[in-house]
Structure formats: structure tokens, C-alpha cells
Amino acid sequence: MDIKELMLGDLVVYKGEPMKVVFLADILEECLRLAPLTGHFCTYDCTQAELNEVEPLPITAELLQKNGFIREDFEEDSFLLKTADKTVRFYGDNEGFDLIIYFNNADIDLENIIGIHKVQQALRMAGLNCMADFDV
């Protein structure tokens, strides 16, 4: 995985286990630190050589529903989450989702995303930081 695609707080998979990015070194060093989401208190430092073992955490219907998204009957897999002034909508399937966030007469539109870290980044850009912290 390319370290340039990640931000602090993003969820990824490292050696089969979901983890959170808790440190990013200078881009030239290409080093990051990951913290397990389970009860472990240790962190893992991934050097440039180990970055190929870091993978996107897949977007799944179960993960979306666990985090407050409501399944719609609009399309094959369609999910909706609303706040007072923002609407987040997913369309697609487990091979790739399209995401649209409507807010303040604007929108963020991403197509064919497969990693939850891209969703987290879009939610942060829309000012939905509390929703970007997904429970796995």
C-alpha cells in the first residue's frame, strides 16, 4: 500500500489484523506505526520493506451497518447516513462502492472505492470527524 494514501486515524489491515494508523514518518522515509484495534497495547512499526503487508480494510455491508448506515432498497447495495445538515450515501457492492456526501450546497463524490480509509478521509473533509472513527 502506498503510504501517501494514508492519514492518521485511518483503518488498514496488517498481517490479517485490522489496525489504526497512529504515526506517519516523513514521506521520504516511508515508515508508519500501527496500533491494533483489539486489546493489545503494543504498536507495530512498518518500514518501507513491510508496506506491502499493509492493505486497505475492505468496505462491507456489515461494517457500514455496524457504524450507523441504514440499508436502502434503492440499488443492489445502497446505504444512507444522515445528520442535521449532511447526507452520506453509498452505492455498489463488496467489489467497490461509490460514495457521495452532500453538505452545504456542495458534495464529495468518490467512485469505486474499496478501502475504508478513503471513506474516513472523505468524512473528515466534510467535517464529519466523529463518523470517521469506524468501529470494526
pTM: 0.87
Q: Which pLDDT does position 51 carry in this prediction?
A: 87
pLDDT tens, residue by residue, 115-132: 999 999 999 998 889 889
Higher pLDDT among residues 76 and 68, named by residue = 68
Q: Which pLDDT does position 77 carry in this prediction?
A: 80
Q: Which pLDDT does position 74 carry in this prediction?
A: 66
CB contact at 8 A, 90 and 77: yes
pLDDT tens, residue by residue, 1-55: 888 899 999 999 999 999 999 998 866 677 899 999 987 778 999 888 888 899 9
